[in-house]
Amino acid sequence: MTELDENQGRTALRLPGCAAARDPVRAAWDELLPDAHRRYQETLTDRLEPQRGYLTATEYAIYHGGKRLRPLLLLLSAHLVLGPRPAPQKVVDGAVALEMLHVATLIHDDVVDDSLLRRGMASVNAARGAETAIIVGDMQFVQAVRGFIDVIDHERDMDLVKMVLDTAFRVCCGELDELQVDPSWDTGLLLARYWETIDRKTAVLFGLACEAGVVLAGGRSADARRAGFFGRRVGRAFQVMDDLLDLVQDEEKSGKPRGMDLARCRASLPIIYALDELGPDHAVTRAFRGGEPVGGEHAVNEVRRTRGFARAYADARAQALDALEYLRPFRPGPHRAALADLALHVVDRAP
């Protein structure tokens, strides 16, 4: 395991897989950003107030559940510029707007996937129907954009609004790309589409978080781009790990049945690698490539027993380690170290 040493400004090496016992997400919120966390919660409450008549406990649960990883990345990235100084309110406002954009994508994802569960609870789609879920998701998106517009206080911030809209467009493209995959495509084409899709669907939002944090803190354009590269690689690692966890996590922990990607014929990275290894005559390969849902523990275990599972994990880890290189030019400090910890936590998190 590699992490940036904030005291010495050098790279300290640890053994792979030896993640710290503490949760680096909670540690960053509680130890580094307690004041920003308090202001984040207060601002989120204020931002949701205009929607109060339209939201139910289901939507509030999405906002108050989870680890709020993307706003955390934004705030930590801002401190790459700010150092120990308190974050200006515009940075906190940006973190809240980013989370609203993320929640919009989650609600829309559940409609597209016809998912009944979100983090172990009923999804908006299940609780209120697809039509209402789409409108509620759209409302979160509009409020997110309004939130970013509200933080504009000089001309450079206008570029941030364009970045947000470009990101939202690319997320939509990624969703459409995923729906248009033909499981009968050859492995090379499936792999190319997979990386393109997760760049648009997942990584771009992580990149926005880190880039926006530097921009809102008044950092240089070059540093903002560098932070964005860091975030996108963390986002790639995050998505690959999600695809792996889909094959190993119990429903009690993940909030959804194991092997949903197989059941929905979604060509995730471990599945693509596994199909290539199993060969065209294997029952799982024939069913998947024929567009037939592949369900059951037997099929999941067949995929997990291949080397494809380890190959996908190696790819996720490579993305996380590559992300660390983009942090090197920034001044050493606890916030840079926390970002490095989060990049590695993405691939070291327990199933």
Instruction: State the Cα–Cα distance between residues 109 and 174, nearest whole angstrom.
Output: 11
Q: What is the mean pLDDT of the chain?
A: 89
Give the model's confidence band at 19: pLDDT under 50 very low, under 70 low, under 90 confident, else very high. Answer: very low
Place of tokens 């680096």: 24
pLDDT of residue 10: 32
Cα-Cα-Cα-Cα torsion 205, 195, 289, 242, nearest 10 degrees, comes to: -50
Q: For 300-309, what is the mean pLDDT?
A: 94
pLDDT of residue 6: 35
- Residue 165 makes CB contacts below 8 A (sequence gap 6+) with 145
Q: For 127-138, what is the mean pLDDT?
A: 94
In one-letter notation, the amino acid at residue 213 is G
Is the pTM above the cut of 0.75?
A: yes
Q: Is the pLDDT of residue 18 over 50?
A: no
pLDDT of residue 16: 35
In a 3-state reduction of DSSP, which class is residue 3? strand
pLDDT of residue 5: 39
CB 27 within 8 Å of CB 338 = yes
Tens of pLDDT, residue by residue over 250-266, are 766 656 778 989 988 89
Give the model's confidence band at 190: pLDDT under 50 very low, under 70 low, under 90 confident, else very high. Answer: very high
Name all domains of the chain by residue range, CATH numbers in brackets.
2-244+325-348 (1.10.600.10)
Here the contacts of 15-24 (C-beta below 8 Å, separation 24 or greater) are: 16/317, 17/348, 19/344, 19/345, 19/348, 19/349, 20/341, 23/345, 24/338, 24/341, 24/342, 24/345
